[in-house]
Structure 1
Amino acid sequence: MKKVKSCPVETWTCEDVGNWLEEIGLEKFSDLFSKTHQIDGQVLLSLTEKDLREPPLQLNILGDIKRLSKYLRELKCQRLTNLPLSQNMHPGGISEGRKRLKERRLHSTSSNVSYREISKHESTESEDVDSASSARMYQQGNTQSYYTSNDITLELWKTILSFIYVFAVFMVTAFVMVVVHDRVPEMDKYPPLPDLFLDNMPYVPWAFDACELVGLILGTMWFVVLLFHRYRFVLMRRIFSLTGTIFLLRCVSMLITSLSVPGKHLQCRGKSYGDIYTKLERTFEIWKGMGMSLQGVRTCGDYMFSGHTSIITLLNFFITEYTPRKFYYIHIASWCLNFFGIFFLLAAHEHYSIDVFMAFYLSSRLFMYYHTLAYNRALLAPDAKRTRVWFPLFSFFESKGEGRVPNQFEVPLKHVGPCCQAMYAWVCSLRAPSNAGAPEDKENSKRSPSELMTNAG
């Protein structure tokens, strides 16, 4: 009897199927499968648990049904792994292996079976989001899918582009704030609008400074995470792109509708800055001060929606997402700071409640949508064209993304220390008094820091 496992499953004959059943300890079904129903390798791969339960097979013992279903899933997974690329590609450009994988996800049972899909180069010209090839681990029966990648492309140039993008958006936002200041409704004619929270919350003078202090604390925490995170450039690219998009949306909302001043303590009047040069000068002042009152910047008319809430919400979500779960103290502190910052902002009567609510909702939803698409980018390949249309920035910045970024940390700038030591040794060698009778000292003084490090090693 030949060993059937050495042959491709789709080439098995009815006799091979019977031999396979004997090998796995289910020889009592050998004649039923191979002789009675003439089941060969291709038919065997198409069997499901429903086929085993219903006529004409109609197995009666539950244990046999479950064991046979388990072995059938292993055969299908093995066949998908060993399938050559040329046989795996469908004429329409969609992988047959991908179809089989989706079919297993839909029709598989809830058993905890772990399997590995060795991914192929499945990208076509339209599949820009799914162009990278990597090994992914899926675990059935679990609520999460864990993606691993041995080589995450940092793409530093995209990080630089995302920084230019958010830099430009901040400048546009500052200019829009100058424009809307001229359109602030007069407080005598347009008193503060009715607000459920502000009407029942007394004004706290120091609350706005406390809100900005919360933002600075969250910003410091995020800077520390970025400093030690191994994939800091990927994280920077994502926060720059999301922040730029949110503040670009804020520019539109500020221009469309000008709300009245939310508090009587705010002495806001419509102010015209005259020519374009004066407006640009004021724009630079707002941009340089980051729109913060702690920096001496006071603005009016930028109420829909809250920029302070957007920033602290994004920082909170990024801190909790890109730190390990065991850092739950940091997560709790981040969420508490987020909600305290929102409370202080409302207590200062600097924004209406709807401003804060919309800012929190839009910032959190955009963060979740972006990361959901990034983590499940393998599911987007059939809709790559629509992805480019509806999510152009995501499609560009995550075109070579590898799903979930591992939260791995390292010592930043670990090569700076040895380089500084080498430079110090080189400078000391230059300062050493030259001796005509010691040519070796002269030769050492001419050596570069790298040569000194090599010799020291």
Structure 2
Amino acid sequence: MSETPVMEWTVKDTEVWLRKEGFDDTVIQILCHQNQLNGKCLLVLNEHDFATEPLNKLTLKDRKCLYISCKSLQRDNQNVLLDLGLLEMPSVGLYAPQPHFSKNECSEYSESERVSPPVSEDGRIHRLPAEKTKAFLSFCYVVVVTWITAFVMVIVHDRVPDMKKYPPLPDIFLDNVPHIPWAFDMCEVTGTFLFTIWLIVLLFHKHRFILMRRFFALSGTVFLLRCVTMLITSLSVPGAHLQCTPRNYTTQSSSVFGDLATKLSQAYVIWRGAGMSIQGVRTCGDYMFSGHTVALTMLNFFITEYTPRHIYYLHTLSWMMNMFGIFFILAAHEHYSIDVFVAFYISSRLFLYYHTLSNNQALMQRDSTRTKVWFPLFSYFESSVDGIVPNEYETPSEIVCNLLGFFKSKLNILKDLHICLTAKSSEPSTSNCVVDSVRDNKIKQS
């Protein structure tokens, strides 16, 4: 019987399976002899069946044990249920909450089964909407956050403690590792290399827009948190080699708007250079926590997450560059060890928490209101994703064809609009023509 598919089990096979699961003759008499239960019936048993005859005639122990056994059997045969379309039917699926019961008459089984069913054995889903609008909004979000970060960096630079009055704090690593002048530049070169790899992954990944919005959302959130931490507490300069003095913003007019304009211009210089020293940006006071460590860690985690597992040498290289980049930051004495540790911990934990929730939407479905309050970006960006994003890639020819199709569709829209606007017709009909042309092109794209 072990080689026979469950869908082909006879009543006798079901009886053998029940005995193997430890059920006595009473259960077998009711299920097999009286109701002719076969393999197909086992795969479609749901909460409602357990609350009605004949299953409600079983003892509580037998019902619970049978429920667990059926649940395990159905999970082992999800591909069969998917082919039959049963996972999309909440009235039949074992794992979906049943609307048959009212709030006060809920099934004893449905409360513990409020999980979203995966559509394949590995939890991946076959269709993922690109949702380019969400990717654009996430990009706008990270742009705004980087502007805020640049402006806060200008403020904290002017609040840096006096180096003569406040010497560097004791640090186990910095006190025992000599200063390496070129190390910070090497850290930024390492980050640039990781960023190049990430751009290549985005270019060829089939679900690039989902990856982009996740990267922008997570990076923006971490850097926004960094604005708070480096603003509320000013640490002393970690290295005596750093020349950190507050900038003088006094002007002839000495107006508030004049100082603000000067600070905004300084913030633009930082924003334009991405806060990198190899771009000529030098700031002080932005120590808790390390922005360079955040960038390195985020790039490393996204590269390893969205590249195939068998490319182990790429994952090893990414982790090595992440660790060496952190070492270079400390060797350059540009940050305290606690700055780097906190940055790595926050970035990695936020990445893992975000992806754990997005890969297992059932963890948030039972308390969706609280999730929307505490994770508004996640609730919005991941509302249409219910599973693991597969690492599927496009060939260069497919990318070119997609680009040509995109530009062709846009060109057709422009041509249709031009025809509609130049046609000798009344204004209402022209408006309808424009709407129809846009709608037709959207239908063709879908």
TM-score, with structure 1 as normaliser = 0.69
In structure 1, the residue corresponding to 2:172 is in which secondary structure?
coil
Instruction: For 1:164-175, list aligned pairs within 5 A.
Output: 164-175=140-151
Q: How far apart are the structure 2 equivalents of 1:418 and 1:52?
A: 59
- 1:363-409 alpha-carbon deviations (Å, 9 max, x no partner): 00000010011011123212000001111111111111132100000
Per the alignment, residue 328 of structure 1 pairs with: 312
C-alpha change, 1:30 and 1:72, in structure 2 (3 Å) is farther
Per the alignment, residue 260 of structure 1 pairs with: 236
Larger Rg: 1
C-alpha change, 1:167 and 1:51, in structure 2 (3 Å) is same
C-alpha change, 1:168 and 1:94, in structure 2 (3 Å) is farther
Instruction: For 1:77-116, list aligned pairs within 5 A.
Output: 84=91, 88-89=98-99, 90-92=101-103, 99=110, 102=113
Q: Which amino acid aligns with 2:128?
A: I
In structure 2, the residue corresponding to 1:303 is in which secondary structure?
coil
In structure 1, the residue corresponding to 2:345 is in which secondary structure?
helix
Q: Is the 8 A contact 1:21 1:30 kept in 2?
A: no
- List alignment gaps of at least 5 residues for structure 2: 1-8, 36-48, 251-258, 409-446
2:424 pairs with 1:414: no
Of 275, 290, 297, the residue aligned with 1:291 is: 275
Per the alignment, residue 34 of structure 1 pairs with: 29
C-alpha change, 1:45 and 1:326, in structure 2 (3 Å) is farther
State the 1:100 CA deviation.
7.7
Q: Is the 8 A contact 2:97 2:110 kept in 1?
A: no
Instruction: For 1:112-261, list aligned pairs within 5 A.
Output: 136-138=119-121, 146-261=122-237
2:307 pairs with 1:307: no
Per the alignment, residue 365 of structure 1 pairs with: 349
Q: Is the 8 A contact 1:174 1:283 kept in 2?
A: yes
Per the alignment, residue 353 of structure 1 pairs with: 337
Q: How far apart are the structure 1 equivalents of 2:184 and 2:173?
A: 16
- 1:397-456 alpha-carbon deviations (Å, 9 max, x no partner): 11111321000000253227978xx9xxxxxxxxxxxxxxxxxxxxxxxxxxxxxxxxxx
Q: Which moved more, 1:353-362 or 1:403-412?
A: 403-412
- 1:166-189 alpha-carbon deviations (Å, 9 max, x no partner): 000000000001111110111110
2:327 pairs with 1:343: yes
In structure 2, the residue corresponding to 1:137 is in which secondary structure?
coil
Q: How far apart are the structure 1 equivalents of 2:345 and 2:105?
A: 36
Structure with the higher fraction of residues in helix conformation: 2
Q: How far apart are the structure 2 equivalents of 1:148 and 1:38?
A: 40
Q: Is the 8 A contact 2:160 2:246 kept in 1?
A: yes
Q: Which moved more, 1:408-417 or 1:266-275?
A: 408-417
C-alpha change, 1:94 and 1:244, in structure 2 (3 Å) is farther
Per the alignment, residue 428 of structure 2 pairs with: none
TM-score, with structure 2 as normaliser = 0.70
Q: How far apart are the structure 2 equivalents of 1:294 and 1:261?
A: 20
Q: How far apart are the structure 2 equivalents of 1:405 and 1:249?
A: 27
CA RMSD in angstroms, aligned pairs only: 3.9
Per the alignment, residue 396 of structure 1 pairs with: 380
C-alpha change, 1:75 and 1:206, in structure 2 (3 Å) is closer
C-alpha change, 1:416 and 1:195, in structure 2 (3 Å) is same
In structure 2, the residue corresponding to 1:407 is in which secondary structure?
coil
Q: Is the 8 A contact 1:185 1:260 kept in 2?
A: yes
Q: How far apart are the structure 2 equivalents of 1:97 and 1:414?
A: 54
Q: Which amino acid aligns with 2:98?
A: N
- 1:121-172 alpha-carbon deviations (Å, 9 max, x no partner): xxxxxxxxxxxxxx5235xxxxxxx222121011100000000000000000
Q: How far apart are the structure 2 equivalents of 1:305 and 1:48?
A: 59
2:355 pairs with 1:377: no
C-alpha change, 1:32 and 1:239, in structure 2 (3 Å) is closer
C-alpha change, 1:71 and 1:264, in structure 2 (3 Å) is closer
